[in-house]
Chains A and B, each alone.
Chain A
Amino acid sequence: MKFGREQVKYVCIILSGANIASIILGILHYIIGLNIVIGTIFSILIVLAWFLNVALIVFDDYKVVKNSSIGKRINRFGYGFVGVQIIAIFCLIGGLFTLNANWFSPVLQYSLIWIGFFSFFVYASLFSYLNIKALNNREVWKFE
C-alpha cells in the first residue's frame, strides 16, 4: 500500500485527536482521581500520541521541501517541538523529584509537572494542525 497524502492526513487527524484527548484526560486526572478504565485508556493514548508525534517529526524531516516558505516553517516547528520535548522532560524530572522536598512550595512542584506534561501536548496539537493545513500544498512535500 502506498503511503500518500491522504494516509498522512488521516494519521495527522488521529494524532490531533490523541493530543487533545491527552490534554483533556490530563485535566480529568486531577478532577476525578485515579480510575482503572480511564487510566488505562489514558496510558495507551499517551504512548500512542508520543510515538505518532515522534514519527511525524521524522516523517517531516524526510518528506518536507525545506526550501519552500511553509516547508521551512514546518522544519523550524519540528526543531521547536524537539526543544519543547527536552524542556518538558526536565520540568517533569524537577516537578516529580521535588514533590518529596519540603523546601519547595506545592505550587512550584505542580507547576513544573503541569508545564512539563501539557506543554508537550499543546505544542504537539499545534504541530499536527500545521501539518494538516500544509498537506494540500504540493510545493511543500516530496510525495512522488
Chain B
Amino acid sequence: MNKLRIVKVILGILSILMLIWGAFWAYMLFFGGRILRGITIVIEEFVAQSSVLMLALCIAVTILLMKLLASRRVKHPKQYYAIIIIGLTISGFNAASLLATPYTILNAEQEFEDAFGVNWGNSIPLNVQNYFLPSPYLFSSHFLSIPEKAIIVEKDILFYTGENITLYFDVYRPVEPASLLPGNGSIIINLHPGAWMSGGKGTWNMISTSKYLAGQGYVVFDIEYGLIDWFEYGAAAPDTPEYVMGNFTIEDQVRHIGIFTNRCESEFAATYGANLDSVYFMGRSAGAHLAGVAGLGYNYDFHNTTFSPNMVVKGVIPLYSPSAAPEFLLKEKRSANPDLYNAYDLVHLADDEDPPVLIFQGTSDGQVRIEGAIELEEDLESKGTDCCLLMFPFAGHANDFVLSTNIGQVWIYYLERFLYLTQNIS
C-alpha cells in the first residue's frame, strides 16, 4: 500500500468517525440527555449551540468521502451513493435547531403580545431600538459573534465574610453614562447555576450576556452565594471555589442573596451608579430558582426581613428553572413544615403584585423538563403574574452559553426588550 493510499484510508476512517459523532449529536438534539443520562446530561449543554457548525462539518465530511470514494462511483455506485445519503441525512437532522428558529420567534412574539399587548413593539422608541439587536436572528452574526460595546468589568469584590465562607461579586457596567442607554443603570443580580452545590460567578454564569447587558446600560452584579457541601449531584458545575462551601441549606443561600441586596442598597449602588428603583433578579438552573424566590418572594411575609426594603423589583428572569426547592435541601421536610416549603416554591410565592417573569427553556433539556416550565408559566399566570415563556426547540440545559447562535440571538433580542418594557411598569 503506497503512502497516498494510507493517507486516504486514515482520512476515510476519520470522516466516518465524524459522521458517527454527527449522528450522536443529532440524537442528542432530539432527545437531550434525559434517556441516556450520565455524561450525556453534560454533553447536552453543548449540542444545540453547536449544531449549525455540526451541520457544516457533516456536509464537509460527506464531500470528503465523495472525493475519497470517487473511484467507486462507477464500480460500486450503491455503496457510493449510500454513503452520500447517510452523510446528508445526518447533516439534515443537525439542521433541526436552525430550521426551528422561525417557530421560536413566532412563539416569542405571541408570548410578548399576551404579556404586553398586540403593539408591544411600538412602545419602544426608535432611538432606544437603535441600541438593540435589529433582528431576532441574523445568520451572519452566528459565526462572527455580536460586536461588543465598551464596558467596565471589576472582579472579585468582597461583600460578605462569615460562617467560614467569603462571598465575592463581579460587576459589569457601561462606559457611557447609563442614563443615556436603555438600561438607565437598572440593576441585574445574576445568580449562577450548579444545583445549589457547585459552580460560581464568571465563565459558567454567561459572561457574554453580562457584558452585553452592561453595554445596554445595566449594572450587572454576578454574585456568589454559599454552596451546600453535603449534597452530591451527577452534573456538578465546574470551577467551584472552596471558599463558598459550607453546611448550608437553600434558606442560607437566599439569606446570602439578601445580604447582597442590603449591601447594594447601602454602598454598591452608589459606587457603581446603579438604580435601586429598577432591579432584576436573573439566574440559571438552581440560580434561576433562587432568582425566582428573591424576585417573587420579595413582597412575601416569610422573606420580609431578608432583602433590602428599598429596592424596586421590576422583573424576574429564570433560565431553565426548577419551580421549587428539593425538600431535602431545606432545613425541614415539607410534611413537618409546609410553610417553609411554600416559601421556596415559586408558584406559591407568586401573586398579582409581582413583577413580570421571562423564562428561558429548551425543549430537549434533560435536567429541567419542558413540561415543568410550561406548568410553571401556567401556574404563575393563574396567580396573576405576567409571564413570558421563551421555548427553544431542540435546546438543552444551559444553551444560552454562546450568545451568537440561533438560540442566543433570539434570547437576547427578547430579553433586552423585556428589560426595557418592564422598567416602565410601576
Residues of chain B within 8 A (CB-CB) of A116 are 143
B237 near A: Cβ within 8 Å? no
Chain A 20-77 interface residues, beta-carbon cutoff 8 Å to B: 25-26, 29-30, 33-36, 39-40, 42-43, 46-47, 50, 54, 57-58, 61, 75
A100-B207, A100-B208 given as contacts; is B60 within 8 A of A82 (CB)?
Answer: yes
Closest chain B CB from A76 CB (angstroms): 10
B56 near A: Cβ within 8 Å? yes
Closest chain B CB from A2 CB (angstroms): 22
Query: Is the CB–CB distance between A113 and B145 below 8 Å?
Result: yes
Task: Report the bound CA distance from A79 to B11 in whole Å.
Answer: 11
Number of interface residues of B (CB under 8 A): 36
Query: Is the CB–CB distance between A34 and B60 below 8 Å?
Result: no
B135 near A: Cβ within 8 Å? yes
Number of interface residues of A (CB under 8 A): 40
Closest chain A CB from B2 CB (angstroms): 16
Query: Is the CB–CB distance between B144 and A89 below 8 Å?
Result: no
B181 near A: Cβ within 8 Å? no
Contact for A96 among B70, B140, B145, B206, CB less than 8 A: B145
A97 near B: Cβ within 8 Å? yes
Chain A 124-143 interface residues, beta-carbon cutoff 8 Å to B: none
Query: Is the CB–CB distance between B134 and A61 below 8 Å?
Result: no
Looking at A50, A75, A85, which has the most chain B CB atoms within 10 Å of its CB?
A: A85
Query: Is the CB–CB distance between B53 and A89 below 8 Å?
Result: yes
Residues of chain A within 8 A (CB-CB) of B403 are 99-100
A46-B140, A100-B206 given as contacts; is B402 within 8 A of A39 (CB)?
Answer: no
Query: Is the CB–CB distance between B135 and A39 below 8 Å?
Result: yes
A93 near B: Cβ within 8 Å? yes
Q: List 25 A-B contacts (CB under 8 A).
A: A26-B144, A30-B147, A34-B133, A35-B134, A36-B134, A36-B135, A39-B141, A40-B138, A46-B139, A46-B143, A47-B139, A50-B56, A54-B59, A61-B70, A78-B67, A82-B60, A86-B57, A86-B64, A95-B145, A96-B143, A97-B49, A97-B50, A99-B403, A100-B402, A101-B203
Report which A residues bind B (CB closer than 8 A).
25-26, 29-30, 33-36, 39-40, 42-43, 46-47, 50, 54, 57-58, 61, 75, 78-79, 82, 85-86, 89, 92-93, 95-97, 99-103, 110, 113, 116-117
Other A-B contacts than A26-B144, A43-B138, A96-B143, 12 sampled, CB-CB below 8 A, are A34-B138, A47-B139, A50-B56, A85-B56, A86-B57, A86-B61, A89-B60, A96-B145, A100-B403, A102-B203, A113-B145, A117-B143
